Amino acid sequence: MKSEEPKAAPGNTILAKPTTTQQNAMEVNGPTKNNVASPTSQSQSEAQPPAPVLDPHIPREQWGGKYEFLLSCIGYCVGLGNVWRFPYLCYRNGGGVFLIPYFIMLFFTGVPLFLMELSLGQYGAAGPITVWKCCPLLKGIGIGMLCVSTLVCLYYNVIIAWTFYYLGSSFQSPLPWSCEAPANWALCANISSGNGSFQSPSEVFWNEKVLGVVHSKGLHDPGPVRWPLALCLLAGWIIIFLCMLKGIRSSGKVVYVTATFPYFVLLVLIIKGATLEGSLQGVAFYLTPDWSRLASAQVWNDAASQVFYSLGIGVGGLLSMASYNKFDNNVIRDTLIIVVGNCSTSFFAGFAIFSILGHMAWRKGVPVGEVADTGPGLAFVAYPEALALLPGSVFWSILFFLMLFMLGIDTLFGNMEGITTAVLDEFPQLRQNMMHKTLFLAALCFAFYLMGLLLISDGGIYWFTLIDSFSTSFGLIIIALFMCIGISFFYGVNQFCQDIIDMICHCPPWCTKFLFFFKACWVFITPFLLLFILTYIFFEMYNTSLQYGSYVYPFWGKALGVCIGMACCVQIPIWAGVAIFKESGTLKDRFQKAIRPLNSWRANTLSSSGQTEEQAEPERVDGPYTVNLTSMDFNAMTWQSDSNA
């Protein structure tokens, strides 16, 4: 990797490795011209201690093959949002017309930011925090990513616990939320009599048996823990712990099943749905265009939010998984494969969902819009009710919830990888000691389990909705915006593009052409669109209230949600201030030094090209926070051999 010789910065020392013709004895020389030591400086240097020995580089794991990385990323991106969110947004925002703003937002925000995260992780071979040695001023972005990942992991495994509960209940015949179950006979009789005030059996099962929300008055009244769900949540964290125990060596093998099985289930559901009466009505409802919706700002915001939600941008999972790649992996090719796979899954999942919902609407004699829903309402109320109407409903229910489990577990792998990689990079000694790493992972999973108990209490769904609404809202957009601006203007967009070319040793012409497009996006288009999204989010957050069903959140609850979102993005100015405070000189000097990359940022480049031992440029090494050094301390400080004295 070609780069200019960096200047020393406060808190860093400059060391140059000797050449192979130099002797082992080393000495410190004072200021000289053309590196020729004077006799006086030689005599002074004899009293100096020997050259410091740097800590040996701790080897980093790598994926067993490129397919493990691709499947892990696809499994991470193809999550529950593709099944329960995209189809609903598509029908709500003009059917097939929604694909226009969706693909525009995808090409100009999703793909560029996706490539930026993968490239950062792969080039630096570091997690969300350590990777910002490329620009120490922006270390707060990595801390913010860690906060977002923590919040997502906290509530995402609760969804897996619900899935476990439904999966276990699916082994009963008839299904406990169907009208064939004896407990629901009276309820179904009242519904068939035309009294619309009664809930369906699937709604009763969801609200009373699973959530217990009928026993809570709101956010202030969480009530007791639902112990059947607590056992399901514990099982979920045990599975996560076991799959991640050996790092990517174990999780990389698991994804061969968890990332491919959902595609098999979706294909089976699409084929089954196509044979059902009324399925075409559901598909028409899904795709019928309403061109007037293109003029609505909400449609464009929904498209952008879906891109972020499904691709997992700004959370740190992508960056962490890419850090285990080989240095010369074609990151542009992988980006296109993963994004196309993710978007195709979202689109075709709509056929699997709405074909069967159309059949349910036909059976009930109601419009499809009355049975369509989004989020947990689709996955745990509407769709299970539709499956209960099919012949062999037990089989279809088991298959569906097994698919939801696979989708959720893959996404959780990526988020947990972001957290563990960040911590292990900051404390690399944990990588060397398997016992310490195991204890850390066990403590992390147990801590998440304890915090998650609040979300599976009687009023836990209110807390779940609050965290879900604000953890990946404006805070995530701000993190992505600063990441884009920081790389483009502080690190340098030209240097970043050159880094990508260096990774792709034999960069084909099409890759170079793509980089021109990405450069324009990173500098102009993507920041502008992110600002538009951010403005709309703040406007909507100010003018609309947060609700779950008929429950309207109090002012203090919404304020708490805003604080949750702010806790993620406020890390950026805090750690930028710390980086500037560590430096010395005027404020301008401090800023310029804080945006200069550490030389260890190039370590992965040198090791990949076999130049580690022949490094000619000085190495900038982090010094203790308590040491305040200036550039003058290093201007003429070089290590020379006795033979050159």
pLDDT (tens digit, 9 = 90+) per residue, 15-62? 444 443 343 333 333 333 334 344 444 444 444 444 444 444 566 778
Would you list the DSSP string of 14-36?
EE-PPPTTS-S-EEE--S-STTP
Assign 607 a pLDDT band (cuts: 50, 70, 90).
low
- Tell me the whole-structure pTM to 2 decimals: 0.81
In degrees and rounded to multiples of 5, residue 22 shows phi and psi of: -85, 155
pLDDT of residue 195: 55
* pLDDT for position 85: 83
Q: Among 641, 327, 373, 339, which residue's Cα sits nearest to residue 502?
A: 327
Mean pLDDT of 398-426: 89
> 76-85, 181-190, 245-254 — which is least confidently predicted?
245-254
Q: What dihedral do alpha carbons 96, 98, 99, 100 form, nearest 10°?
A: 110
The pLDDT of 102-110, averaged and rounded, is 92
Q: Poorest-confidence range of 17-31, 209-223, 476-490, 601-615?
A: 17-31
> How confident is residue 604, by pLDDT bands cut at 50, 70 and 90?
low
H helical segments located in 199-260: 201-204, 227-244, 248-258
Greatest mean pLDDT range, 4-18, 241-255, 291-305, 614-628? 291-305
Q: What is the pLDDT of residues 149-181, one digit of tens each?
A: 999 999 999 999 999 999 999 998 889 998 888
How many residues appear in the chain? 645
What does the pLDDT read at residue 198?
A: 63
CA 123/CA 135 separation, integer angstroms: 14
User: Contact at 8 Å (CB) between 351 and 233?
Assistant: no
Question: What is the residue whose two structure tokens read 């082994």?
Answer: 171
Q: Is 11 left (phi over 0), alpha (psi -120 to 50) or beta?
A: left
Over residues 334-353, the pLDDT tens digits come to 999 999 999 999 888 889 88
Distance CA 628, CA 370 (A): 67
% of the chain with per-residue pLDDT over 70: 82
DSSP line for 551-606: EEPPHHHHHHHHHHHHHHHTHHHHHHHHHHHHS-SSHHHHHHHHTSPPGGGGHHHH
What per-residue confidence (pLDDT) applies to 38?
Answer: 42
Closest by alpha carbon to 303, among 69, 107, 556, 554? 107
The pLDDT value given to residue 603: 65
Among 201-215, 353-367, 612-626, the range of highest mean pLDDT: 201-215
25/600 Cα distance (integer angstroms): 25
SS (H, E, C) 99-145: HHHHHHHHHHHHHHHHHHHHHHHHHHCCCCCHHHHHCHHHHHHHHHH
Residue type, 417: E
406 φψ region: left (φ > 0), alpha (ψ -120 to 50), beta (else): alpha
Mean pLDDT across the stretch 385-413?
A: 89
Q: What is the mean pLDDT of residues 252-272?
A: 86
Work out the angle at residue 418's Cα, subtended by the Cα atoms of residues 414 and 420, and round it to the nearest 5 degrees.
110
pLDDT over 70 at 290, yes or no: yes
